[in-house]
Amino acid sequence: MESKLPRISRLRPPSSLNSTAAKPKIVAATKRCRSPEEAPSSKRQRFSGGENKPPSSGNKPAAKLKTSNSSGSLSGGRPSSKLQSNISGRATSNPRTATVKPSVVKSAKPVGASSRPVKPGASNNGRPPASVNTSGNTSGCGTGSKAKRPAWDLKGRLQDMEERLKQHTEQKSDFQTQMREWQEQQAQLESQNSKLSGTVKEKEMHFTNMVTENDGLKRKLSEAEEDLYQVRKQLERDTENFEFTKASLRRQKETLEGEVASLQQEVAGLKSSVAQLTASQAGIRSELEATKLALEQATRTIADRDAEIVTHKATISGHEVTIEEYLQSFQEHETVRRQLHNSIQELKGNIRVFCRVRPLLGDELYGSDGDIPHMAFTGEEHRTLELERLGEVSLSEGNGKYEFTFDRVFDPSTSQATVFEEISQLVQSALDGYNVCIFAYGQTGSGKTYTMEGPSVEDEENMGVISRALLQYEFEGSFLEIYNETIQDLLERHAADVKHDIKMTGTSGGDVMVTNLTTVQVTTENQITHLLKTASQNRAVGETQCNERSSRSHSVFRLKITGNNTITGETCKGTLNLVDLAGSERLKESGATGQRLKETQNINKSLSNLGMENHVPYRNSKLTYLLQNSLGGNSKTLMFVNVSPREDSFSETLNSLRFATKVNQCNIGTATKKIRVCEPILLIDLP
Ligand SMILES: Nc1ncnc2c1ncn2[C@@H]1O[C@H](COP(=O)(O)OP(=O)(O)OP(=O)(O)O)[C@@H](O)[C@H]1O
């Protein structure tokens, strides 16, 4: 905008624009028309200096020229060269000015001057040079080729002067005309100038407004740039976010594509499943129809059966009456049976012996098919066992054959269930009010513990006598071990200083009890198993202290039985002792010395006491002292003699069978029933 300012200022006309342009031309024309003769320097000075009056002659044209000059001085200064050129230019283009100007110039020339140039120094018939004459000769102006009038020709000279005045007057008229034109031009220019000034002011105002607007726009531009910067920054951040979002969306897209693929697979699988299910549904529907038909048939059948049931119920009611009558009759027979049973037991004697031979096991089977060549189980009643010494027989042994008869002989194939069936009558006797004691006697490894407790691993089919007896009754049980004449609790490990002594409750014939002995309530099979396991573990602890301790100790399982006879309605509580005795090896054959010798002596003492026919010296051993109530006249005793099938155990087997025979022949008196006061049964596993 500023660059425009100078252009606007240049449009302004100079202050001296009016009429000053004509001045130099007028002056020039005036100067050219003078001659030195007509206007001496002093006069010329006055003439051009602004005298209002002509010289003494009073010449008007001179005065008019002065006026012309004075009007030229109105400019008061030099016109600018530009304005001169403008005006000249305009004069050229203006037809009026063009007409005037040549006339001015033409008339400004000296009238009598030749157009031909005069050479300097050229002679003119002895007269002053033409140029001097021309310039100084007033008659030269406008007269042309007129000859100079003699001084005396005043009339001629006056005539010349009038001619010249006339010329000047014409020139003046021209000048005035031109002056008017110039004034008109000046007025036009001033009007134009005024208009231009207004325009300039408008432009300046417009410019100011533009500047203000420009500033505002600059501010807006700055703000816009700042906004643009912020927008760019935001755009960069948005771009970054967009890229990040794009990447995460791409990952999501990939994941989703994977899921879509797996879902598509699943859908395909489901479609095929649906197809299969649709097919199978059709099959099921037809099956359903068939089933519905069958159901309708069955419903009809049920209705028929319901009718039959009503009939049968009537029959059952009749039978129930009959059963009730039979039950009453059975109860009477049961009472008779018990009386007969006890009579038979009394007839049989109160010590009964069962012999059991275990099968060959493990390595013992090597080279055999399970047969035991030196044993024979004869007789239909399963009561006889024949032993035969194979190989060389001494003279004292005769033919080497030994026959033993017991209340029952169980061969190796006899199951635990069969064995228990045979002794269950004795357990029943305990509930009937008799003292019952069951021993297991025999050499080490002959099967005493197996018979009494069953195998070491849990095996329901091969449960022993203890477990089977316990399954029939609710009881409180305790389990003890007599090792080397010292009692140990097998259900709980006590401190070393806890003593277990045998004591009698009440007077003679009262219960025998052991101090500090743990008693457990057993009602379920699991509890029985747990009880036997605990006892076995406590025995195993003992074995680490002394090798094969279980073989060298007696274990007594004492039960306090609560039994209900559902037939007679009687209830009985008693104690049952099941005794697994220490091994019955003979002292001589055992070759024992030291501690082992002492053990064997103690064992044999207690065992031999059992075999005493008339009087058992109970106090001789802990075992007999503990079992005194079960070995006396008021008890029923069963002894298992367990026998090894090994041929190399022949002598021990023979010895055991002989001892058992002796026990079997004992008469410990007639057992008497204690009504409603059940005494303990003794089940003894003899060594
Ligand atoms: N009738 C049987 N059927 C199958 N295996 C038996 C039978 N009798 C005993 N056994 C097995 O023979 C081995 C010896 O039996 P058991 O331990 O009962 O002898 P034991 O006379 O109690 O010996 P110890 O006097 O050393 O205690 C055991 O592995 C036992 O499981």
Helix 60-72, helix 41-49: angle, nearest 10: 50
Is the minimum distance from the CB of 583 to ligand 1 under 6 angstroms? Answer: yes
The reported pLDDT for the residue numbered 578 is 81
Is the minimum distance from the CB of 552 to ligand 1 under 6 angstroms? Answer: no
pLDDT confidence band for 18 (50 / 70 / 90): very low
Do 685 and 451 form a contact (C-beta atoms < 8 A)?
A: yes
- Is residue 144, in this structure, part of any structural domain at all? yes
Rounded to whole angstroms, the Cα distance separating 193 from 195 reads: 5
Rounded to whole angstroms, the Cα distance separating 73 from 76 reads: 5
Cβ partners under 8 Å of residue 455, min gap 6: 462
Higher per-residue pLDDT: 139 or 477 = 477
- Structure-block tokens of residue 491: 């259900």
The enclosing domain of 471 has a CATH number of 3.40.850.10
The reported pLDDT for the residue numbered 506 is 66
Element (H, E) at 572: strand 571-580
Mutate which of 354, 358, 481, 532 for ligand 1? The one with the most ligand atoms within 8 Å of its CB, which is: 358
Please state whether beta strands 682-684 and 635-643 pair in parallel, antiparallel, or not at all (unpaired): parallel
SS3 for 41?
helix
Rounded to whole angstroms, the Cα distance separating 418 from 440 reads: 16
544-to-453, 538, 547, 595 alpha-carbon distances in Å: 21, 10, 6, 16
Is the minimum distance from the CB of 359 to ligand 1 under 6 angstroms? Answer: yes
Of 8-17, 167-176, 495-504, the range with the lowest mean pLDDT is 8-17
552-to-120, 268, 483, 582 alpha-carbon distances in Å: 188, 76, 7, 5
Is the minimum distance from the CB of 450 to ligand 1 under 6 angstroms? Answer: yes
Mutate which of 377, 422, 443, 449 for ligand 1? The one with the most ligand atoms within 8 Å of its CB, which is: 449
Note the residue count of the chain. Answer: 687
pLDDT confidence band for 565 (50 / 70 / 90): low
Is the minimum distance from the CB of 555 to ligand 1 under 6 angstroms? Answer: no
- Is residue 670, in this structure, part of any structural domain at all? yes
The model's pLDDT over 366-398, given as tens digits with 9 standing for 90+, comes to: 877 888 999 999 887 899 999 998 887 777 777
ipTM for this model: 0.98
- Is residue 603, in this structure, part of any structural domain at all? yes
Do 116 and 172 form a contact (C-beta atoms < 8 A)?
A: no
Domain count, the chain: 2
Radius of gyration of the chain (CA): 84
Provide the percentage of residues in the chain whose pLDDT is more than 90: 27
Considering 142, 175, 199, which residue would you say is the last residue of a domain? 199
- Structure-block tokens of residue 644: 């090894």
- Is residue 260, in this structure, part of any structural domain at all? no
Rounded to whole angstroms, the Cα distance separating 485 from 465 reads: 25
Is the minimum distance from the CB of 553 to ligand 1 under 6 angstroms? Answer: no
- Is residue 445, in this structure, part of any structural domain at all? yes
B/e letters for 519-548, b = 16+ CB within 10 Å, e = fewer, are eeebeeeeebbebbebbeebbeebeeeeee
Considering 163, 180, 199, which residue would you say is the last residue of a domain? 199
- Is residue 105, in this structure, part of any structural domain at all? yes
User: How many whole angstroms from 449 Cα to the centroid of ligand 1?
Assistant: 6
568 pLDDT above the threshold of 60: yes
- Is residue 284, in this structure, part of any structural domain at all? no
570 pLDDT above the threshold of 90: no
The reported pLDDT for the residue numbered 458 is 75
The model's pLDDT over 428-480, given as tens digits with 9 standing for 90+, comes to: 777 666 777 888 988 889 999 999 989 877 788 899 988 888 776 667 778 88
Considering 184, 199, 214, which residue would you say is the last residue of a domain? 199
Of 31-35, 160-164, 285-289, 533-537, the range with the lowest mean pLDDT is 31-35
pTM of the model: 0.49
Backbone phi, psi, residue 661, to 5°: -60, -40
Q: How many Cα atoms sit within 13 Å of 614 on the Cβ side?
A: 0
- Is residue 78, in this structure, part of any structural domain at all? yes
598 pLDDT above the threshold of 70: no
CA torsion, points 123, 126, 128, 130, in degrees to nearest 10?
A: -50
Provide the residue range defining the domain that includes 100. 4-114+124-199
The model's pLDDT over 297-333, given as tens digits with 9 standing for 90+, comes to: 999 999 999 999 999 999 999 999 999 988 888 888 8
The model's pLDDT over 146-182, given as tens digits with 9 standing for 90+, comes to: 677 888 888 888 998 999 999 999 999 999 999 999 9
Do 331 and 568 form a contact (C-beta atoms < 8 A)?
A: yes
